[in-house]
Amino acid sequence: MKVKAREKKGIVILDLEGSIDINASTIVEAVGWVLKNKTRSMVFNFASVDVVDYIGVSILAVAYKNIINHKGKMRICNVPLHLKNLFNVVGLTRVFTFFSNEDEAIRSLNGEDKISEILKKKLRRRFKRIPYFARIEYRPSGMKHLEFDQGKIVNISAIGLFIHSKNIFPVDQVLDTRIHLFSPEQILEVQTKVVWLADHQIQPREYPGMGLEYHEIGSDQQKIIVDFVEKNFAGD
């Protein structure tokens, strides 16, 4: 097993080559070196990996645990189909995050870092809401035969938004939403999840309405929202 480290956009890429088996301890060594000398965020490139056996799976788990213990983040990209099937069988698809190429993996890490920077500001309720009045369309996720309901955005943040709407859904309902973030010609399509409902007695001015969080949002969509939020409360 050969491991080569290189940097791209502030992220270390570990190019793996050969078989990940009992002789692949160099992966753990490489991860330790990167954590000590470079960064806590890294991408494993599997493009040149031929075989991963069960000992190799354990080695990957050790490397991952080391990264997590250092409060780092790990992504995997360019995994051949036969290895994806193996990872699915042993349950690693529920642990690791996979991407089709390294650029997508890097955008995911950088986008997550930007969200973390906002959350670290320890603003009220973990984020600052920006008053923003615009149209939103929504319907239950996967129900493409249904028409979109209409609502009005009241405020927006880096991790969610609150909307006024006549037709509301229960907490935990996942929605397909169209956010008119800039203009009707520029619609951001994202999944959201209902996390709270306005109470008529406690919040009469906000009733009826729903608090939504972004759900399984793509890195490109995430960046658009984060950049919008940062621009509007820059200097706070």
Q: What stretches in the chain show pLDDT beneath 70?
A: 111-128, 183-185, 233-236
Same-domain check for residues 113 and 18: yes
Alpha helix ranges (H) inside 10-125: 26-37, 54-69, 81-90, 102-119
Q: What is the pTM of this model?
A: 0.51
Over residues 163-200, the pLDDT tens digits come to: 999 889 998 899 999 998 775 567 889 999 998 898 87
Q: Domain range for residue 45?
A: 2-119
Q: How far apart are CA 224 and CA 235, in angstroms?
A: 19
CATH number of residue 33's parent domain: 3.30.750.24
Give the total number of structural domains in the chain.
2
Same-domain check for residues 21 and 49: yes
Asked if 156 and 132 count as a contact pair (C-beta separation under 8 A), the reply is yes
Same-domain check for residues 75 and 170: no
Q: What is the CB-side half-sphere exposure of residue 48 using CA atoms within 13 A?
A: 9
Over residues 86-105, the pLDDT tens digits come to: 888 877 777 787 888 998 88
Same-domain check for residues 10 and 105: yes
CATH number of residue 191's parent domain: 2.40.10.220
